[in-house]
Amino acid sequence: LILYAWLMAVVYVIGVPLALFALLCSKRRAIAARTTRKGGDDLNSISFLIRVFKPRYWWLAVVDLLRRLLLTCFMLILPSAYQLLTALSISMVFAVGHREVGGYWDSVSDVLTLACS
């Protein structure tokens, strides 16, 4: 049972972001060519992942998922004395990264992301 738990943890933490990246990478040309937030009919199934990002920043959905996984799952393996400092460091790195990239569809979301980080 413990082996199964570790296996599923690895599948979730590594497999899901890789699968999401592969899905978005396979549709990156259609995402880059979109002129609306949702894109065309071929992007209906993944529009919830990409509609907040500019077309050329299709990969930011994967980065955001990695940020969330680092702030939750990764904290579980650290000693409690290091969790706060590590979470603060991770948040600062991603906040600066989001600010520098400016990958959201509208600039208000960029400012809001920076203010909430």
- Residue at 66: amino acid letter: L
How confident is the model over 107-117, as pLDDT tens digits?
A: 888 788 778 77
Return the exposure string of 45-75: e unless at least 16 CB atoms fall within 10 Å of the residue's CB, then b.
Answer: ebbebbebbbbebbbbbbbbebbebbeeeeb
Task: Map residue 104 onto helix, strand or coil.
Answer: strand
Neighbours of 24 (CB within 10 A): 18
Q: What is the pLDDT of residue 62?
A: 95
At what angle are helices 16-26 and 60-72 packed, to 10 degrees? 170
Rounded distance between C-alpha atoms, residue 2 and residue 5, angstroms: 5
How confident is the model over 36-93, as pLDDT tens digits?
A: 888 888 898 999 998 889 999 999 999 999 999 999 988 888 999 999 999 999 999 9
Number of H helices, E strands in the chain: 7, 0
